[in-house]
Amino acid sequence: MSASGISLPASPYAAVLAPLDGRLADLVALYEDLHRHPELGFQETRTAAEAARRLTALGYDVTTGIGGTGVTGVLRNGPGPVVLLRADMDALPVTERSGLAYASTVPGRMHACGHDVHVTCLLGAADLLATGRDRWSGTLVVLFQPAEETGSGARAMLDDGLYRKGLVPTPDVVLGQHVAPFGAGLIAYCPGACMAASDSLEITFHGTGGHGSRPETTVDPILMAAAFVQRVQSVVAREVAPKDQAVVTVGSFHAGDTANVIPDRAVLRLSVRSFDETVRTGVLAAIDRIARAEAAASGAPREPEIEARESFPVTVNEPGTLREVNEAFAQLLGPQQLFAYEPVAGSEDVGLLATAAGAPLYYWWLGGWDPEEFRTAFAAGRLADIPSNHSPRFVPVVRPTLTTGVQALTVAALDRLAAGGRTDG
């Protein structure tokens, strides 16, 4: 039994994991400090500095400022594969309503998606793997990424030469995890396409403004945009096959300032989710077609402006890597602690790090909610009562979330690295 209260089956990873109990107090303090001081995308200077400080003390070759605020640490430890572990650092523009003693101290900012958990767990794993380097061989890369929430952080690090300039060696596998609102101590997995591609669009419809009492002298962009909103809902219903999945949401509609003036433009913002590139291309083309057709049908003075704002790729887990790493998870935690889940419509940019390297990806979900609360809500059919990611009340329970998260990253890395020295624990 560990100090965290989790019974650990005997495993070949025990020796590397053994120091974790003695590190937990420091990791909890780190997590609470990160939670108090959330930073938005490309502003993660404080978080990045702490990651760099700790990695330097552990003996990693550290590079900072990649893609703005990204940090990497490289630990070369003899021949073998290159394994990349990734954590994202950015918070959200959300006002916290958790009531916790370590709640955010920054107005309008919160780690509402658990990236403070991700950073803490990766630093914990980096510590254990550096301390236990006599048990493995190869090269370990730990990467702290900015701006995941906008889908631009991984791309910024790649564009800054992450692999091209040799800032880190090109990985043979990319691994990571995301905390989620199910029971802490559990790990969830999904082979293949596990998270959706996401595209955010801004469409500006142009009309001819005028007095509300004389609509015949105008071209009303509100009517034009409203017709588009209704028509675009037919894309998924009539242009996407039932076996495929897609979501089209109009989340923002802005036009006009007063009741008796017809404005000269209307601005919409849309979110599109899909799991297949052919479906994605078809849906985006249909949105473009419908927007232009509605403008033409309304006699618009010019075509609408359609601007792509944010884009995430489909997150695809390589089934073989998933299966092999899950065997290691089951050996560590017990097979009853792992469960499969269906693909979700949320999005991630971690896949870019794998695709750019031509490497397989495994990205799993880490349970973060109080296990007893989760069991009670599940039994009552009230899982919707548990705050989800991005909620102002989403704050994972510290233990055993951090323990399991550190263990999972450590064991996943050890499973992919070459064995070195004794591994009998």
Active-site residue among 44, 148, 172, 276? 148
- Judged by DSSP in three states, 349 sits in coil
Structural contact between residues 275 and 197, judged by C-beta atoms closer than 8 angstroms: yes
CA distance 18 to 40: 35
Residues in the chain: 425
Cα–Cα distances in angstroms (integers) from residue 2 to residues 9, 19, 87, 159, 369, in the given order:
11, 11, 25, 43, 20
CA distance 248 to 367: 29
Structural contact between residues 220 and 206, judged by C-beta atoms closer than 8 angstroms: no
Q: Is 160 one of the annotated active-site residues of the chain?
A: no
Amino acid in the structure at residue 263: P
Structural contact between residues 17 and 331, judged by C-beta atoms closer than 8 angstroms: no
The position carrying tokens 């958990």 is 117
Q: Is 149 one of the annotated active-site residues of the chain?
A: no
CA distance 185 to 183: 6
Q: How many CB atoms lie within 10 A of CB 279?
A: 20
**Pair of tokens at residue 410:** 């450590």
Active-site residue among 90, 116, 172, 349? 90
Give burial (CB, 10 Å; 0-12/13-18/19+) of 217: exposed
CA distance 214 to 313: 47
Listed residue (58, 59, 61, 51) closest to 145, CA to CA? 51
Q: Which residues are catalytic?
A: 90, 148
